[in-house]
Structure 1
Amino acid sequence: MMNKQTIIDLLTKNYFSFINYINDLTTQELLFHEQQKWTAGQQLQHIVLCVKPLVQVFSMDKSMIAQNFGIADKPGRSYDVLLSEYLEKLNEGGKAPDRFVPENVLAEQRTVLSEYLGQLINLLCSKIENFSEEDLDQLCIPHPLLGKLTLREMLCNAIYHVEHHGNQVKQNLDR
């Protein structure tokens, strides 16, 4: 299991790598898409839409998280097991719920979205500091594809999630 500091380090590394990658794209690359695939700008907005609720949850009082979402009734899964289950759900056709589907993103929105995502990640990482290792393993929240996850599992998923969408951008651009 990843400890809290490793989670914070990987969240910071992966999200800021994604932000830097998106910011280095040309305007043409940012707006390019094929068929029904999202543009790089839409991928950025999707990531923002997914991180905002995490910040909200980690800003809540721990007792409210337990009351609203519950306590774990089994040990948390490892990063590798969780990743395998997530990829399986995607392969079965799992899609983002409407509230996480981005709208069209204009080139002019890139800077604001990138800066906002950076602020959200910094805030999330500072909020995580207020939770003990035990809290991360006991408190639960719902994931749209994976169901009830511990906070640690959700953060592990977030570490991979941004990497997954960065890879989608690269594949879409043939990079």
Structure 2
Amino acid sequence: MNPQTRADLLRDLLLARSAVSEFVRGLSVAQFNEGSAARWSPAHHLDHLCRSNAPVAAAMAVPDRLPRVPDDRRSRTFAALYADYQARLAEGVQATGRFVPEPSGDLAAGLAEYQDGLDALHAQAQTWPETDLETLAMPHPVLGLLTVREMLYFTLAHNLHHLRGMQARLEHP
């Protein structure tokens, strides 16, 4: 994936939602819950995504509360943002605070919450003009102040990163 426009982001967010949902639906309840706080289960990954996606959707619902981006600031590309995120992960950055998962263990409920959350984010992103993605910003706990476009890039990359984490967990229990 290499989204550049709002339309690309909207499409790719739906593709990520489908890929995560399809993978989780293919798990048994035991597979979904196999793991721990130290070595996340798919349930941990999914709960973390719910906790991460929801604030982005909520912030996008109130654009008048978001800070403006300095005139000389432009969004990084999806690839550049993803590389920055990977570099922070390599430094040992981990989820903290409200982003630490506490999964219920209920596969159906977890999947429904994930899908509803990404649907809400997608619906908000549909209402935004392309230009506003560059002119408003959101804080990210690890990457700092991001343009809204960069936050959507991050959200897409983050969902795919955790899908790979779930897949790896199943391959290497």
Fold in common (TM above 0.5): yes
Q: Does 1:147 align with 2:144?
A: yes
In 2, are the aligned partners of 1:40 and 1:169 still within 8 Å (CA)?
yes
Q: Distance in 1 between matches of 2:38 and 2:101?
A: 13
After TM superposition, the runs of 4+ consecutive aligned structure 1 residues lying more than 4 A away are none
Map of 1:119 onto structure 2: 116
From the superposition, tell whether residues 147 and 35 of structure 1 become closer, same or farther in structure 2 (CA, over 3 Å): closer
Give the 5 Å matches for 1:75-90.
75-90=74-89
TM superposition shift of 1:96: 1.2
Q: 2-side partners of 1:114 and 1:28: how far apart?
A: 15
Residue of structure 2 equivalent to 1:172: 169
The equivalent of 1:3 in structure 2 is: 5
CA distance in 2, matches of 1:18, 1:104: 16
> Which SS does the other structure have where 2:139 is aligned?
strand
| Aligned-residue identity in percent | 23
Aligned to 1:52: 54
Structure 2 CA distance, aligned partners of 1:6 and 1:128? Answer: 11
Asked whether the 8 Å contact 2:139–2:145 carries over to 1, the reply is yes
Which amino acid in 2 is paired with 1:170? Answer: Q
1:15-164 correspondence to structure 2 within 5 Å = 15-33=17-35, 36-60=38-62, 62-66=63-67, 70-72=68-70, 73-106=72-105, 109-164=106-161
The separation in 2 between residues aligned to 1:118 and 1:171, in whole angstroms, is 21
Return closer, same or farther for 1:120/1:35 CA change in 2, 3 Å cut-off: closer
Change (3 A) 1:32 1:7: same
Q: Is the 8 A contact 1:96 1:144 kept in 2?
A: no
Whether the 8 Å contact between 2:47 and 2:103 is mirrored in structure 1 is no
Q: Distance in 1 between matches of 2:14 and 2:146?
A: 21
The alpha carbon displacement at 1:34 in A equals 6.6
Q: CA deviation at 1:63?
A: 2.2
Q: Give how far 1:105 is off.
A: 3.0
Equivalent residues, number: 169
8 Å contact kept, 1:15–1:121: yes
Is the CA contact 1:65–1:140 (under 8 Å) kept in the aligned structure 2?
yes
User: Retained in 1: the 8 A contact 2:29–2:107?
Assistant: no
